[in-house]
Amino acid sequence: MRYFCCCPINYKSDFLGFLFERVFSLIIIAGYVAAGGLSNAWAESSSSHEYLIKAAFLYNFAKFVEWPAESFKDDLSPLNLYVLGEDPFGATLDSIKDKTIRGRKLAIKRCNKIEEVEGCHILFVSASEKGNMRHILNALRNSNVLTVGEIEGFARLGGIINFIITEKRIHFEINPDEAQRSKLKISSQLLKLAHIVTSESRKEKE
Amino acid sequence: MMHFFRDISIRRKLTLIIMLTSIIVLFLASAAFVINDVMTFRSAMVKDLSTLAEVLGTNSTAALTFNDQKSAEETLGALKAVPNIVSASIYTKDNQIFAQYLRNKKNPGSSPSMSEMEDSFPKGEHTKSPEVIKEGYIFSNGYLHLFKRIVLDADTIGMLFLQSDLEKLHSRLRWYGGIAAVVMVISSLVAYLLSLTLQSVISKPILYLAQTMKTVSNEKNYGIRVGKRSHDELGVLNDGFNEMLAQIQDRDTALLRAQAELEKRAQDLQKELTERKRAEEELKQKTDELARSNKELEQFAYVASHDLREPLRMVTSYVKLFARRYKDKLDADADDFINFAVDGATRMQRLIDGLLIYSRVGTRGKEFEPTDCEMILGQCLNNLQVAIGERGAVITHDPLPTVMADHLQLTQLFQNLIDNAIKFRRGEEPPRIHISAKPIAEFGIRNAELNSELRTQISELKDGWVFSVHDNGIGIAPEYADRIFVIFQRLHDREKYPGTGIGLAVCKKIVERHGGSIWVESEPGKGATFYFTIPAKGDQQP
């Protein structure tokens, strides 16, 4: 991140330019994460690029969401990001490990069953869990967990954020009702960027 | 300019000074106010813009984070409500324009890339670490440019750039300029009106003083005084002026008095001078008259004696003839009578001769020429050899000089003096006569009895000779020392020492004609010394 942001400024220097070339490949992922994805259009070119961006989004969501204080043990306890099911990120996710969000470290954990999820703040539900989706969402209802999915209808069915791809770009849906139910405060800015969806169950009720 | 200022009236000067001072002060004050206001306004503008940027930046964090350009542009689009914003841009971390807003879309404003702006960005937070993108503001080309970091969770995720025009500032400046101009004009007018009245406080007394001064110098009236109107420096000036006038007046009076006195004195002097001149003229006239009458007298004496000689010779000749022919033929008494007549006639002839000689000294004198006194003395002795032989006189002399003189008269002089010395011998003792001459400088005046007139005459002759003729004769009593030089004055009985009483008078006249003096030093029975002086130059006297 450091190099990334300073380099354009100092790019005038050939030496630094050379240095930049060398280190670029090593830290490119970290850079993507920090920048929040340079171009969403890369997503379509390859699956790895798509998850690069999604990983960055996951990290950035944390910045625009506020958890209730009681969801943390204390001020120093980490923000836990869990991946449920088959991990599509691979090593990509590890690069955002140990980053801090509002003073809290980001802790990453992978699990296969919803029962293993404990003390989680952000839960990424992998596409592999499509079948268990309802079960998972029911289990997490009223649990202060920001659920993020990449399955169509995830948000409508009780998830809070869902990645979608429109016009060959990665976007996301947000279900503010579910967020409110989970006592999570989502920044209006984030909401502004999202496709707002409402719960199907609620519609049914209405 | 300075020259012009120097020559204008003090009234105008004061007005000008007051006006100039007020206008300059007013101008400076207005300028200070305007500058202060502009500065304040500018900083307010910066602050407003900064706040706006802050809000915009905060509202753009999510769009930037999630790479949503549309959303960011929507956010910037709200700037339509702020008319002074010309353009706005959001940059990503790597200086790429992420979103842009242009007030006038047809004319794309300058949205500089961040590295471009970097160079022209002197202000802002210069943190030492180069990785932090600089934020700050700059006024340039009639715009205010402002960069603001977009921060999310303590990370700078981008940069917001705002460009605002300065129309508000300019209209404010115009308004202030107009106000200042109006205030200046009105104030100048007021200052002028005020100065017109106020300047008289200073100028009036000065002009009054100047007027008085002019009057004084024109009328030469030093009695004028200026009235004291104030107790300031001008009052002091008035006092000083009055004092000066008083001094001048005093001096003037004193001068006039002195002048009058001087005039009077000059008049007196003039009078005295005229008087003296008149007296002098009178004296000269008298002297001339005297000289003329003297000359007439001499002429008369000469003519008379000359003409008298002829009948006298006839008388003498015939009386002598008568005596020779009728001697012893008449009675004894007749012989006696005839002898008396012959004697008288002879004496008379001698007198007339003497008188003739005397008068000739003045009237028949010759030109002076170098004359050898030795030669003169030789001639005298030759003339007198009969008398010398008769009396057995011994005559000696020192070496004698050559002087400028009438040699006939000089001969007469020596002859008379030697003749006298021989004549007035003591008893039957043979006369011893010594003649000498000394330069005047070597001759000390020994005789205290010499009268002062003579002494000055001698001392005045710086260059000349003193001759002396010393004898061992009967001498002369000092009381007669002057009388012997007067014509017809005789000290002795005619029978004992025959003579006419003319000889020494002739001597005196000759010496005086040569510019010298003659005197005698003697004591009765001890012989006498006759002195006379002859000037070397030979000043001829009439």
Q: pLDDT truncated to tens, each residue of chain A (206 aa)?
A: 333 333 333 333 444 444 444 444 334 444 444 444 444 444 444 677 888 889 889 999 998 999 998 888 888 889 999 999 888 888 888 888 878 888 888 889 888 888 888 888 999 999 888 888 888 888 887 788 999 999 988 988 889 999 998 888 888 999 999 899 889 999 988 998 899 998 876 544 44
Asked if the Cβ–Cβ distance from A4 to B95 is below 8 Å, we say no
Q: Is the dihedral of CA A12, A13, A18, A19 positive or negative?
A: negative
- The per-residue DSSP string of B55-74 comes to HHHHHHHHHHHTT-HHHHHH
Instruction: Name the 3-class secondary structure at A9.
Output: helix
B59: nearest CA in chain A?
A: A189
Q: pLDDT at position A34, please?
A: 45
Q: Does B69 touch chain A (CB under 8 A)?
A: no
Q: Does B72 touch chain A (CB under 8 A)?
A: no
Phi and psi torsions of A162, nearest 5°: -140, 125
Spell out which residues of chain A touch residue B151, defining contact as CB-CB under 8 Å: none
The residue among B64, B66, B91, B115 with the most chain A CBs within 10 A of its CB, best to mutate, is B66
Spell out which residues of chain A touch residue B119, defining contact as CB-CB under 8 Å: none
Query: From CA B312, how far away is CA B306, in angstroms rounded?
Result: 10
Nearest to B136 by CA among B124, B144, B127: B124
pLDDT averaged over consecutive 10-residue blocks of chain B (542 residues)? 78 85 89 89 91 90 87 89 90 86 67 49 38 73 89 86 90 89 89 85 84 88 80 85 89 92 94 92 88 81 79 86 83 84 84 80 80 90 88 89 88 90 84 88 62 70 84 84 80 73 86 87 83 75 46
DSSP state of A127: G
Asked if the Cβ–Cβ distance from B156 to A5 is below 8 Å, we say yes
Q: A121 CA to chain B: closest CA distance, Å?
A: 18
Asked if the Cβ–Cβ distance from B66 to A37 is below 8 Å, we say yes
Overall residue count recorded for chain A in this entry: 206
Adjacent-strand bridge partners of B436? B468
Query: From CA A70, how far away is CA A61, in angstroms rounded?
Result: 20
Please check whether residue A196 is in contact with residue A174, taking contact to mean a CB–CB distance below 8 angstroms.
Answer: yes
Spell out which residues of chain A touch residue B92, defining contact as CB-CB under 8 Å: 35
Alpha helix positions (H), B66-166: 69-77, 114-119
Spell out which residues of chain B touch residue A35, defining contact as CB-CB under 8 Å: 92-94, 157
Q: A98 CA to chain B: closest CA distance, Å?
A: 15
Residues sharing a CB contact under 8 Å with residue B478, sequence separation 6 or more, in sequence order: B449, B522, B523
C-alpha angle B363/B365/B370, rounded to 5°?
Answer: 165
Please check whether residue A158 is in contact with residue B28, taking contact to mean a CB–CB distance below 8 angstroms.
Answer: no
Q: pLDDT at position B274, please?
A: 92
Buried b or exposed e, range B79-90, using 16+ CB within 10 angstroms: beeeebbbbbbb
Q: How much is the mean pLDDT over chain B?
A: 83
- What CA–CA distances, in Å, run from B487 to B295, B304, B344, B365, B518? 16, 17, 19, 19, 15
CA B460 to chain centre: 40
Q: pLDDT at position A173, please?
A: 92
Please check whether residue B130 is in contact with residue B118, taking contact to mean a CB–CB distance below 8 angstroms.
Answer: no
Q: pLDDT at position B450, please?
A: 61
Per the listing, tokens 């007549």 go with: B341
Verdict on whether the full-model pTM lies above 0.80: no
A-B C-beta contacts closer than 8 Å: 68
Please check whether residue B64 is in contact with residue B90, taking contact to mean a CB–CB distance below 8 angstroms.
Answer: yes
Asked if the Cβ–Cβ distance from B66 to A57 is below 8 Å, we say yes
Q: pLDDT at position A65, please?
A: 92
Q: B42 CA to chain A: closest CA distance, Å?
A: 29
Q: pLDDT at position A148, please?
A: 93
Adjacent-strand bridge partners of B338? none
Predicted ipTM of the assembly: 0.71
- What CA–CA distances, in Å, run from A82 to A101, A137, A145, B495? 16, 14, 10, 202
Torsion of Cα atoms, B444 then B447 then B449 then B455, to 10°: -20
Asked if the Cβ–Cβ distance from A36 to B67 is below 8 Å, we say yes
Query: From CA B147, how far away is CA B162, in angstroms rounded?
Result: 7
Q: Does B66 touch chain A (CB under 8 A)?
A: yes
- The 10s digit of each residue's pLDDT in B150-197 is 988 888 888 999 999 988 889 988 998 898 899 889 988 988 888 888
Residues sharing a CB contact under 8 Å with residue B347, sequence separation 6 or more, in sequence order: B500
Q: Strand B432-439 vs strand B464-470: parallel, antiparallel, or unpaired?
A: antiparallel
Q: A65 CA to chain B: closest CA distance, Å?
A: 11
Asked if the Cβ–Cβ distance from A193 to B68 is below 8 Å, we say yes
Q: Does B119 touch chain A (CB under 8 A)?
A: no
- What CA–CA distances, in Å, run from B106 to B90, B109, B299? 20, 9, 153
Residues of A with CB under 8 A from a CB of B: 1-2, 4-12, 34-40, 57, 60, 63-64, 101-102, 187, 189-190, 192-193
Spell out which residues of chain A touch residue B93, defining contact as CB-CB under 8 Å: 4-5, 8, 34-35
Residues sharing a CB contact under 8 Å with residue B119, sequence separation 6 or more, in sequence order: none
Torsion of Cα atoms, B380 then B383 then B387 then B390, to 10°: 110
Q: pLDDT at position B446, please?
A: 56
Instruction: Name the 3-class secondary structure at B412.
Output: helix
Query: From CA A88, how far away is CA A90, in angstroms rounded?
Result: 6
- What CA–CA distances, in Å, run from B193 to B24, B179, B186, B203? 17, 21, 11, 16
Q: pLDDT at position B444, please?
A: 64
Spell out which residues of chain A touch residue B69, defining contact as CB-CB under 8 Å: none
Which residues 24-43 of B have a C-beta within 8 angstroms of A? none
C-alpha angle A62/A67/A72, rounded to 5°?
Answer: 105
Q: Strand B155-165 vs strand B85-92: parallel, antiparallel, or unpaired?
A: antiparallel
Instruction: Name the 3-class secondary structure at B47.
Output: helix
Query: From CA B175, how far away is CA A133, in angstroms rounded?
Result: 70
